[in-house]
């Protein structure tokens, strides 16, 4: 099975800051990596797929990069609504697997 | 606009069977481009993929879950379901249903239900 490791597990930041979250795969997954945002009490929301393809309703301050085993999600100019938990998910091979999440706190 | 909604009992006793249904509205579940999946999240913890099913009946399950997971689809009702037998307290979680792209599209979960909390307690 492919293990996904996210770092950091939590990060504190101010509105306007830039935050970078890293997701590492235990084996190469080409670019089959998605990012989700989960706000308290809500279902996860897909932000990005195939490592860097942003959904049309997601602000451009979210960017993704990486391939094979190392990926990053960068949020520039943090907004109050960005404070949430972010998960990565690999879809290269079954079983599909998620990272443990990164909490972005004020 | 497509919507997914989970339904089922919120409280179970150990050894009972968990049965949840996901109703899909606003679009047909019959699509060659999507699977339909179940994901769970224990309170305060991360996400765990349970399994996914295509309208044709093709399924993929997570082998890390013990045997007893059955995912089925009812195209006439535009629904798919999850059965998990012999539950324990470790199965306490919010259960989400979600739409999942096929392999060529990336297998990402692009539309989620709001989730339903299932508690296993004697």
Residues A44 and B112: beta-carbon distance below 8 Å: yes
Q: Which of A89, A95, A100 is the closest to B64 by Cβ? A: A95
Q: Is B113 on the interface with A (CB under 8 A)?
A: yes
Q: Which of A32, A96, A98 is the closest to B46 by Cβ? A: A98
Q: Quick one: pLDDT at residue B91? A: 96
Q: State which H helix or E strand residue B97 sits in.
A: strand B93-101
Q: How confident is the model at residue B103 (pLDDT cuts 50, 70, 90)?
A: confident
Across the interface, do A44 and B109 touch by the CB < 8 Å criterion?
yes
Q: Quick one: pLDDT at residue B2? A: 93
Q: Which of B38, B21, B14, B20 is nearest to B90 (CA)?
A: B14
Q: Quick one: pLDDT at residue B73? A: 97
Residues of B in contact with A34 (CB under 8 A): 106, 108-109
pLDDT digits (tens, 9 = 90+) for A16-62: 999 999 999 999 999 999 999 999 999 999 999 999 999 999 999 99
pLDDT digits (tens, 9 = 90+) for B26-64: 999 999 999 999 999 999 999 999 999 999 999 999 998
């Amino acid at each position: 099975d492919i293990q996904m490791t996210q770092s950091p597990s939590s990060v504190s930041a101010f509105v306007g800051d830039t935050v970078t979250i890293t997701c590492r795969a235990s084996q190469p997954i080409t670019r089959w990596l998605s990012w989700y945002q989960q706000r308290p009490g809500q279902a996860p929301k897909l932000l990005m797929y195939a490592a860097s393809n942003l959904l049309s309703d997601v602000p451009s301050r979210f960017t993704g990069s990486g391939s094979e085993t190392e990926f990053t999600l960068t949020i520039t100019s943090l907004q109050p609504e960005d404070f949430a938990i972010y998960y990565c998910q690999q879809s290269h091979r079954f079983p599909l697997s998620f990272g443990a999440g990164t909490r972005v706190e004020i | 606009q497509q919507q997914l909604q989970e339904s089922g009992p919120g409280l179970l006793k150990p050894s009972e069977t968990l049965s949840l249904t996901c109703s899909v509205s606003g679009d047909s579940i019959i699509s060659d481009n999507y699977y339909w999946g179940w994901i769970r999240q224990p309170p305060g913890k991360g996400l765990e993929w349970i399994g996914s099913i295509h309208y044709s009946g093709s399924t993929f399950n997570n082998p890390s879950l013990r045997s007893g997971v059955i995912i089925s689809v009812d195209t006439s009702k535009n629904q798919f379901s999850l059965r998990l037998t012999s539950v324990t307290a470790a199965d306490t979680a919010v259960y989400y249903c979600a739409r999942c792209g096929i392999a060529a599209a990336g297998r990402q979960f692009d539309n989620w239900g709001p989730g339903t909390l299932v508690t296993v307690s004697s």
